[in-house]
């Protein structure tokens, strides 16, 4: 699978160049003329044609520059495809990708192609980057309906990249995506390559600095394609001299992608030349003798691109894995360095020593009971960085937790307020009931008191009578 396949659209609905789709759809209604799609490199011309064929249920016959291009081989195929239907009774779509490359290495086939395009009963589509790169293209301009595929607005590209990064779980910052699109001048293929390069680390503004080593004044992709298109050593040398891409970087790109253009003995010869170039470069660096650097350029950059016969030709080049691995190592080293700086605050040892033994600290933090010790001695920002690095929960309360806590506090306060209001209401009701029942209670009490006072009064009266009776008895006894 091609490295950028996951990032490319899978249907016309996902394509962001809507104007090109409408133009292609309008052409297809009668397709009396062949279509000639013109657009800059990396804009998605070939992808659009393939998705269009799928959408219209057309049987796609694609001829690329890597196919045999001599007239005897090509003409029978073109006649069969252009004048018949597929075995499923569908229309055939004859698609010539990068027709300008066909012309640059023409073996008599271009005349057959033009004739086929004029006589075909099936739709024919050509794709070209520069409509005026060769005089022969004027023949196509006269017989084709030209569809210009312009670059879409950067905001539309950023929206697509955002969806794509989310789908593939790639960490990103919107500002970084905007900057990346700007750096690549809206070139989708180059942008996808950069995202694939940064996928492991994340597309962030800080990580974009890792791309700064590639000179953007002459795009590396265009330089490599130009080198492999060159027919002679002089043509390739002009392209190599004109580019401002770093030669070591260019060598890495060529060595990574040379197998896409050659096979068998041709590939063996290309690798032999690059091996010699690599040896000469190591001697130049060790001896600091830069006079011989021109031989490195000739052997490692120019010669591998002009091996006598190309077995294939493709625009689907990939990022050098050596650069990816180096970037990954640099990123991990910087992370280890920062972790060592944090851990040196709580553990004895130099930053270098801790960084070299980071795997041991990874084990002890997870299983050695150091979590509470770190929590007591480091600030939250440092704990959060260690938490992401060691994949261990070190921060008790994150921002989300604080938010939930505030919501819980708000809910608790609300419940307390409701409870207080209920208590006040119950107290008020109780007092009102007490006030209502108080008169009855006082009336019964007064009646009891009055009855008791009457009983006491009657007893006192009785006692007084008895005392008088006793006094009278005493007087009578004295008399007798």
Kindly give the interhelix angle for 358-367 and 380-390, rounded to the nearest 10 degrees.
100
Reported for 166-170, long-range contacts at CB under 8 A and 24+ positions apart, including other chains, are 168/6, 168/7, 168/199, 170/195, 170/199, 170/202, 170/203
Q: What are the tokens at 348?
A: 């004895």
Cα–Cα dist 432/312, whole Å: 100
Domain made up of 17-148: CATH architecture: 3-Layer(aba) Sandwich (3.40)
Cα–Cα dist 45/101, whole Å: 15
Determine the pLDDT at residue 48: 92
HSE-CB for 350 with a 13 A CA cutoff: 3
Cα–Cα dist 221/384, whole Å: 40
The CA radius of gyration of the chain, in Å to the nearest whole number, is 45
Tell me if 95 sits within 8 A of 129, measured CB to CB: no
Q: Determine phi and psi for 104, rounding to 5 degrees.
A: -65, -25
Q: What are the tokens at 2?
A: 């091609």
Tell me if 108 sits within 8 A of 71, measured CB to CB: yes
Kindly list the strands in the beta sheet with 35-38, ordered across the sheet, starting from the edge strand earlier in the chain: 59-63, 92-96, 124-128, 35-38, 145-148
Q: Determine phi and psi for 67, rounding to 5 degrees.
A: -75, 165
Determine the pLDDT at residue 364: 66
Cα–Cα dist 417/423, whole Å: 10
Look-up: residue for tokens 């590209």?
157
Cα–Cα dist 99/112, whole Å: 13
Closest of 111, 48, 52, 35 to residue 78, by C-alpha: 111
Cα–Cα dist 260/252, whole Å: 14
Dihedral angle computed from the Cα positions of residues 471, 477, 479 and 480, in that order, rounded to the nearest 10 degrees: 160
Determine the pLDDT at residue 212: 56
Look-up: residue for tokens 């130009």?
226
Tell me if 3 sits within 8 A of 257, measured CB to CB: no
| Alpha helix positions (H), 288-398 | 293-297, 321-343, 351-356, 358-367, 371-377, 380-390
Q: What is the pLDDT along the chain (480 residues), one digit of tens a residue?
A: 455 678 888 898 889 888 999 999 999 988 889 999 998 877 888 889 999 999 998 988 888 765 555 667 777 878 888 877 766 667 889 998 888 777 766 666 788 888 888 888 889 999 988 777 777 888 888 899 999 888 888 899 999 999 999 988 899 999 999 988 888 888 887 788 788 878 878 888 888 877 754 444 346 777 887 788 777 888 788 788 777 677 777 888 888 888 888 888 888 888 898 888 888 888 887 777 777 788 888 888 888 888 876 666 666 677 666 655 555 555 566 677 777 778 777 776 677 777 767 766 766 666 656 677 777 777 877 777 777 777 777 766 444 455 555 555 555 555 555 655 555 555 555 445 444 444 444 455 556 556 666 666 676 666 667 666 666 665 555 454
Cα–Cα dist 390/381, whole Å: 14
Domain covering 220-319 assigned CATH 3.30.70 in the classification: no
Determine the pLDDT at residue 470: 62
Tell me if 130 sits within 8 A of 148, measured CB to CB: no
Tell me if 324 sits within 8 A of 198, measured CB to CB: no
């Amino acid at each position: 699978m091609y490295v950028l396949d996951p990032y490319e659209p899978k249907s016309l609905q996902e394509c962001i160049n809507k104007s090109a789709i409408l133009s292609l759809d309008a052409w297809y209604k009668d397709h009396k003329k062949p279509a000639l799609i013109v657009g800059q490199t990396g804009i998605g011309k070939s992808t659009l044609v393939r998705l269009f064929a799928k959408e219209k249920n057309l049987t796609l016959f694609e001829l690329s520059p890597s196919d045999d291009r001599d007239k005897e081989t090509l003409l029978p195929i073109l006649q069969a495809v252009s004048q018949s239907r597929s075995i499923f009774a569908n229309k055939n779509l004859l698609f010539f990708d990068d027709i300008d490359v066909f012309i640059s290495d023409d073996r008599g086939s271009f005349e057959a192609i033009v004739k086929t395009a004029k006589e075909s009963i099936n739709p024919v589509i050509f794709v070209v980057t520069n409509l005026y790169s060769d005089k022969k293209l004027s023949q196509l301009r006269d017989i084709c309906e030209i569809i210009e595929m312009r670059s879409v607005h950067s905001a539309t590209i950023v929206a697509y990249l955002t969806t794509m990064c989310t789908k593939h779980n790639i960490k990103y910052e919107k500002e970084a995506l905007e900057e990346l699109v700007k750096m690549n001048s809206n070139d989708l293929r180059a942008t996808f390559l950069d995202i694939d390069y940064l996928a492991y680390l994340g597309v962030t503004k800080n990580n974009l600095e890792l791309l700064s080593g590639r000179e953007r004044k002459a795009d590396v992709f265009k330089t490599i394609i130009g080198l492999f298109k060159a027919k002679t050593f002089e043509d390739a040398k002009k392209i190599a001299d004109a580019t401002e891409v770093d030669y070591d970087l260019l060598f890495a790109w060529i060595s990574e992608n040379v197998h896409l253009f050659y096979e068998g003995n041709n590939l063996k010869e290309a690798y032999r030349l690059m091996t010699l170039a690599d040896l000469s470069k190591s001697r130049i660096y060790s001896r600091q003798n830069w006079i011989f650097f021109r031989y490195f350029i000739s052997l490692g950059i120019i010669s591998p691109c002009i091996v006598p016969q190309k077995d294939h030709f493709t625009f689907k080049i990939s990022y050098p894995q050596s650069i990816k691995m180096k970037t990954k190592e640099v990123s991990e080293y910087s992370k280890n360095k920062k972790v060592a700086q944090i851990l040196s605050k709580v553990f004895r040892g130099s930053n270098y020593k801790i960084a070299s033994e980071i795997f041991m600290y990874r084990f002890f933090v997870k299983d050695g009971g150091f979590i509470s010790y770190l929590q007591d001695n480091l600030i939250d920002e440092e704990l959060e960085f260690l938490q992401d690095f060691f994949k261990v929960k070190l921060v008790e309360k994150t921002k989300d937790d604080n938010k939930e806590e505030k919501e819980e506090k708000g809910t608790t306060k609300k419940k307390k307020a409701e409870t207080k209001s209920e208590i006040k209401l119950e107290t008020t009701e109780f007092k009102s009931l007490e006030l209502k029942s108080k008169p009855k209670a006082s009336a019964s009490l007064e009646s009891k008191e009055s009855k008791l006072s009457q009983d006491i009064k009657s007893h006192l009266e009785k006692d007084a009578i008895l005392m008088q009776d006793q006094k009278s008895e005493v007087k009578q006894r004295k008399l007798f």
